[in-house]
Structure 1
Amino acid sequence: MIEALPAPLTLFFSALISSTLLPGGSEALLAWLLNQNQHSAWTLWLAATSGNVLGSLLTWGMGYWIARRYPLKTLDKPGHQRARDWLQKYGPASLLLAWLPLVGDPLCLVAGWLRFNFLLSLVMITLGKALRYALIVGLFS
């Protein structure tokens, strides 16, 4: 008989999937788990944040890998050029917005494609996502 994964581990995987190019709902799961009062808010916050950051780093890595096959000069559409210019203007600081729905995942992908500094990218992604999950913890615990 297969037992269910512990709630923090389930939240970790939900957050990881949510931060790749696949859809997910880790925020709703975090809020629900907080209301169950079976795990500390700290444990749940850490599980959600670490899973979400890891997913964004995987997306960043995909962008880094893609850049080897498709150099930036292939971005010839005006919208692509504007996005590239905006990201190059703000650099890794733009990854503070990696938590945003719809645009966060592509930000991480393009940041890898632009070969943003990995450590700065990690710090900015982590800061933005940690603050978002802290807000959810604050609202629901």
Structure 2
Amino acid sequence: MGYALGVVIAVAVVLALVLVLGASRLRTLSRRVGSFQCGARPARPQAPWSAGIAQYGVGRIDWWRCWSLAPRPARTWHRDRLTVTGRAPLDQAGQVDQYLVRCRYDDVDFELTMSSGAYAGLASWLESAPPGRRGLVV
């Protein structure tokens, strides 16, 4: 009985440690300057959404999955290769002030969800690209 109890305690400690690390990572990512909540999915019908946090970098946006312990972003989109192809308000199911943003990166289409303020920041960031990069936002 002592061995089984030791295993249960070890599993509980590991699980608690993973939860604490995950919560700490999520808190750290969401408090960084230039970060915003942003869901992402491939632009396919019925594709699942992944909750995440995006952060502006120098000439790029890094996107981190919320429920992950990965030390690196799941996606990185460079400004000179990212294009917004459309947006639509999400007024369904009580999602007030949310937009569905359709994007293209290296000929791959995907969708993001974000607040109207985050979309305004994204559009401004894309439009402030160096000269010669026009037409990044629809």
Q: Which bracket does the TM-score occupy, shorter chain normalised?
A: under 0.3
Structure with greater proportional helix content? 1
- When normalised by structure 1's length, the TM-score is 0.25
Structure showing greater Rg: 2
Instruction: Give the structure, 1 or 2, with the largest relative contact order (CA under 8 Å, sep 6 or more).
Output: 1
